[in-house]
Amino acid sequence: MNRIRLHTGCLPFIRDMGKTLTNEGWIHPDRNADFNVFIFVIKGQMQVVEEGKEYLLTEGTGFFLKSGLHHWGGPGTLADTSTIWVHFYDRVGESLPRRLT
């Protein structure tokens, strides 16, 4: 599993977010994104592969995919799987905001 660093001094920058309800045969997109992904499975099961390691995400599971790594889905995603996803940047390397006095 790959690490994503989230800083306590500032919130991650959210690029976009949404909800997915899968049909039979739905497969997670094949990509190498410049953003991190958080997936939360509300109902069902989703198969995701990151850099060749397979994960089966089940109901109640939260999972992070790291930016810059190749990830894709497989046929292990069940029809009627419901997920919430968030694409975000972790702000690593940015200076922390100054306190207002």
Q: Where are the domains of the chain?
A: 34-61+81-91
Q: What value does the mean pLDDT of the chain take?
A: 87
Q: What is the pLDDT of residue 95?
A: 46
Compute CA 89 distance to the chain's CA centroid, rounded to the nearest angstrom: 11
Average pLDDT over every residue of 77-84: 98
Q: Using CA atoms, how far apart are residues 57 and 46, in angstroms rounded to an integer?
A: 5
Q: How many angstroms separate the CA atoms of 37 and 51, rounded? A: 14
Tell me the pTM: 0.82
The pLDDT value recorded for residue 101 is 45
* Residue-level pLDDT at 21: 98
Task: Give tens-digit pLDDT for 42-61.
Answer: 999 999 999 999 999 999 99
Question: What are residue 94's phi and psi, to 5 degrees?
Answer: -85, 150
